[in-house]
């Protein structure tokens, strides 16, 4: 890891709130550098579906422009986004945008699940997103997206156990 920033915000064209990564890192790999966005989950959903996010947007809202930018960044301009969670779009786009900013050769978006069975519904949403991105929805492994993006994109889901109090105390000693 060359750099790791918790709660790293990435602005996306079209305005609105920045995409706030739980952790964003710049990695040195044998093949070059990688931009990696991490979205941690523990029993909560990936926010609203895209159509719910768009509904009732004021006439002067820039949500349509933001969605168009996300679709362009992710290489899904003509894709049907029914059943896709908005948070997965902007979190993945943030990794691609930071890859461009730092001239990285690869972008990675990882969902880090601490919720066990409580995250099963989120894994279903993740799987739909993977299918949209032409990637295999597999746990504990990175999958290469088949979409045309500025740099290759890997997507992954990692199941993790939260650290115990004893582990934290040992690490602090």
The ranges assigned to domains in the chain are 3-172
Verdict on whether the full-model pTM lies above 0.85? yes
Q: Are 96 and 151 in contact (CB under 8 A)?
A: yes
> Tell me: the pLDDT tens digits for 20-29?
999 999 999 9
Q: How confident is the model at residue 9 (pLDDT cuts 50, 70, 90)?
A: very high
So what's the pLDDT on residue 99? 98
The whole-chain average pLDDT of the chain stands at 94
Burial class (CB in 10 A: 0-12, 13-18, 19+), 63: middle
Look up residue 139 and give its two tokens.
């746990």
So what's the pLDDT on residue 113? 95
Q: How confident is the model at residue 117 (pLDDT cuts 50, 70, 90)?
A: confident
What's the CA gap between 173 and 58, in Å, rounded? 54
To 5 degrees, how large is the angle CA 120–CA 53–CA 158? 30
So what's the pLDDT on residue 167? 86
Q: Are 119 and 41 in contact (CB under 8 A)?
A: yes
Q: Choose between 112 and 118: higher pLDDT.
A: 112
Q: Is the pLDDT of residue 139 over 90?
A: yes
Q: Is the pLDDT of residue 95 over 90?
A: yes
């Amino acid at each position: 890891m060359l750099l790791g920033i918790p709660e790293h915000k990435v602005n996306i064209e079209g305005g609105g709130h920045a995409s706030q990564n739980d952790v964003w890192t710049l990695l040195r790999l044998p093949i070059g550098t990688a931009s990696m966005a991490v979205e941690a989950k523990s029993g909560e959903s990936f926010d609203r579906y895209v159509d719910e996010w768009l509904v009732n947007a004021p006439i002067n809202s820039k949500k349509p422009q933001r969605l168009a930018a996300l679709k362009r960044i992710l290489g899904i301009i003509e894709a049907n986004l029914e059943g896709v969670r908005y948070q997965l779009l902007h979190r993945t786009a943030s990794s691609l945008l930071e890859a461009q900013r730092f001239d990285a050769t690869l972008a990675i978006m990882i969902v880090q699940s601490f919720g066990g069975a409580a995250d099963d519904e989120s894994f279903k949403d993740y799987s739909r997103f993977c299918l949209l991105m032409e990637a295999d929805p597999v746990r504990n492994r990175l999958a290469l997206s088949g979409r045309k993006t500025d740099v290759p994109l890997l997507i992954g889901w990692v199941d993790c156990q939260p650290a115990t109090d004893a582990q934290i105390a040992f690490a602090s000693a």
